[in-house]
Amino acid sequence: MENKNIIIILVAIIVVLAVVAGAMFLQSFNAKEPTKIKITSDKEQYEGGKLKIQLTDLNKTAISKQKVNITIKNKKGKVVVNETVKTNSKGKAKLDLDLKKGKYKVNVTYGGNENYTGNSTTQKLKIKEEVKETVSEQNYDTSDYDQSSKPPRTEYTGDPNDREAYTEWRKQDLQSENPHRGYSLALDGPEKSPVM
């Protein structure tokens, strides 16, 4: 009888251990993979810029087709943007910013799914006023400019395949008071003409 009780206790212990091991196995089998979410755009942008994010697993593998919530608050804490974007095949998403000059706080949140855990990140954002370039036209009077005060330029009229002659002319031209500037001649081979 004592042996029978010992056997029953041992069987009960084995059953309990099997249930615990099975639960641990199922839990690890169904475990969600951790994620990383990153704001990839600059912390300082001009009006009309874009907020860019990237969602990956810890191995930096992109997580695509996932909804990510972007909330932006102004310096008073008022929510000025509350949008959802969807990641592309590279795990990236972007949001066009329609924010005025100022300082903001960005919160990006991924809620997770059946395979991945959720994650979030925050970043300060400074929006700078867009610089608008203006071009003013000015009229220049060139009638007082005297071209005759400069000595005339010499032109190379020798054989284009004669490198030595051209090189000598070019040395003298560069030492003159009015050398040719803004272009150069290239002699690439004995059969080729200089390129002008």
Q: In the predicted model, what is the mean pLDDT of the chain? A: 79
Between 98 and 178, where is the model more confident? 98
Tell me what pLDDT residue 29 has: 61
For residues 149-158, average pLDDT: 60
Percent of the chain beyond pLDDT 90?
47
- Residues with Cβ within 8 Å of 52's Cβ and at least 6 positions away in sequence, in order, are 39, 40, 41, 92, 93, 94
Task: Tell how strand 102-110 and strand 35-39 pair up.
Answer: unpaired
For residues 28-39, average pLDDT: 84
Tell me what pLDDT residue 193 has: 45
Q: What does the pLDDT look like over 34-89, one tens digit per residue? A: 999 999 999 999 888 999 999 999 999 999 999 999 999 999 999 999 999 999 99
Report all structural domains of the chain as residue ranges with CATH numbers, in order of start.
Answer: 35-128 (2.60.40.1930)
Q: What is the pTM of this model?
A: 0.54
The CA distance from 169 to 164, in Å, is 9
The CA distance from 127 to 93, in Å, is 20
- Residues with Cβ within 8 Å of 35's Cβ and at least 6 positions away in sequence, in order, are 55, 56, 57, 58, 63, 110, 112, 116, 117, 118, 119
Q: What does the pLDDT look like over 157-184, one tens digit per residue? A: 666 677 777 677 677 766 666 665 544 4
pLDDT at residue 132 is higher than 80: no
Measured in degrees and rounded to the nearest 5, phi and psi for residue 71 equal -120, 130
Tell me what pLDDT residue 31 has: 78
Tell me what pLDDT residue 173 has: 67
Q: What does the pLDDT look like over 114-124, one tens digit per residue? A: 999 999 999 99
For residues 90-113, average pLDDT: 95
